Amino acid sequence: MPTAPAVAVKKDLLGLSKASLIAELDSLGEKPFRARQIFEWVYKRKVSDFAGMNNLGKALRDRLDAGYTLSTLAAYRVQRSKRDGTAKYLFQCADGQLVESVFLPHEGRNTACLSTQVGCAMGCTFCATGESGFARNLSPGEIVAQVQGMEADQGVEIHNLVLMGMGEPLHNWENVREAMSALLDPAGRQWGPRHITLSTCGIASGIDALRESGLKLRLAISLHAPEDGLRAGIMPINRRYPLKELMRSVRDYQAATQLQVTFEYTLFKGLNDSPDQAHAVATLLKGVESKVNLIPYNSVQGLDFEAPDFETVLAFQEVLKKRGLIAMVRTEKGGDIDAACGQLRRREA
């Protein structure tokens, strides 16, 4: 029986940095200004097909259409909060994989929470995404397409990004770097680096790579415990990068960027919520310009963790404040729509 001819896969130009796009167009014999034109069509005018780029010659548009694509993501399911306007998106990739994103409306500054992987390989024991396992990295185009998909559906501009969705951004660093470089470029969205926050579970070598890239993104560390034994039990990455190495990378990053670092601390009832542990957090963060977001655990069906009562949360916060730290209890958004990362995809699966 004859074998069916292979179908050529078009290369995705969405999410490529301007430098990468120039290199790609150079391989077609085109001048750098053509790449800059395409870059502006994609990011300033949000055009998603080459036919609409009317300052490119028809021959070039035809060549681009034949060999390239600008990826889009289809909204497989959307949950919209009746409380605060938060919207949780389950996007479907071209290969059928599902990935979550969240739109967070604020007056004058809408925020998008993006995923960087399908699933996650970090294995944090309290996380719905980790329970679903790891499938693959998202491409630069799939990362950027989440922004464009939410903007198209909401009919508004997004001003801030947080890389806090499914996956570990520094485990997909090359693609994340490419996508963020595209979005930060003055010829593109013109976002300043202070409008993008990258959240990591603590890959110290990845924080070093971020520092060396010069992108100067805001950094958020998922801390969740102030001592190695407890942290390694709930976050396996701590076995590879214990707190001493993590804090070394954080201090180096802060010295290079002069940016305040955020520490995310999810509070679990009876596990990491005592006053003594609050004092240990304050000691660990001494000398780092930081703020701490305290997050009462958002329950996930099938996982044996609970949130402490609010009095315990406030007592933990009070210890940190008395020790001179900025400590905020993060208010829940979208609590009525599978708010915890990974819940919607997990339930769909």
41: which residues sit within 8 A by CB, 6+ positions away? 47, 52, 53
Q: How far apart are CA 149 and CA 88, in angstroms?
A: 12
Two tokens, residue 302 = 């099938």
- Residues in a beta bridge with 161: 112, 196
CA angle 126-164-109, nearest 5°?
135
Q: What's the full length of the chain, in residues?
A: 349
The answer to whether 75 and 149 are in contact (CB under 8 A) is: yes
> What amino acid occupies position 61?
R
Q: Which residues are catalytically annotated?
A: 100, 341
Give the three-class secondary structure for 245: helix
Other residues' Cβ atoms within 10 Å of the Cβ of residue 4: 6
| 96: phi then psi, degrees, rounded to nearest 5 | 90, -10
Two tokens, residue 243 = 């707190």
Q: How far apart are CA 59 and CA 61, in angstroms?
A: 5
Other residues' Cβ atoms within 10 Å of the Cβ of residue 137: 19
State in Å, rounded, how far the first CA of the chain is from the last one. Answer: 36
Q: How far apart are CA 47 and CA 38, in angstroms?
A: 9
Position of tokens 């010829």? 187
Q: How far apart are CA 162 and CA 121, in angstroms?
A: 19
The answer to whether 259 and 194 are in contact (CB under 8 A) is: yes
Other residues' Cβ atoms within 10 Å of the Cβ of residue 58: 9
How far, in Å, are 18, 37, 241, 249, 250 from residue 210 at the CA level?
19, 28, 16, 10, 11
Element (H or E) spanning 278, and its range?
helix 275-284
- Residues in a beta bridge with 263: 221, 292
